Amino acid sequence: MIDDPRRHIAAIAGRTESESQHLVAFMQRTCWPGGSQDRRDPTALAWVRRWRPGRAGAEIPVCSCAQGRCVVCN
């Protein structure tokens, strides 16, 4: 069964400021333990400094068409 998005939009539009604040507070408590304050965890920062994304293992071939930068090759 597919929900009608208009029903969700109407429900959100009908929410009072107090209801919205209550929902935000609930989400902060349950989805972001510790609250919404931006914080830095020293262990996480150290991990990010050590982490490096992997490199591609192969060379990407150069475009061989007459344009030199066609949509197929790039």
How is the chain split into domains, by residue range? 1-36
Distance between CA atoms of 14 and 12, rounded to whole angstroms? 5
Q: Which helix (H) or strand (E) holds 27?
A: helix 17-31
Given this model, what pLDDT does residue 4 score?
Answer: 79
Determine contact, residues 40/47, Cβ cutoff 8 Å.
no
* 25/53: higher pLDDT: 25
Two structure tokens written together for 23: 């929902």
Mean pLDDT on 2-26: 85
Q: Average pLDDT over the chain, rounded to whole? A: 76
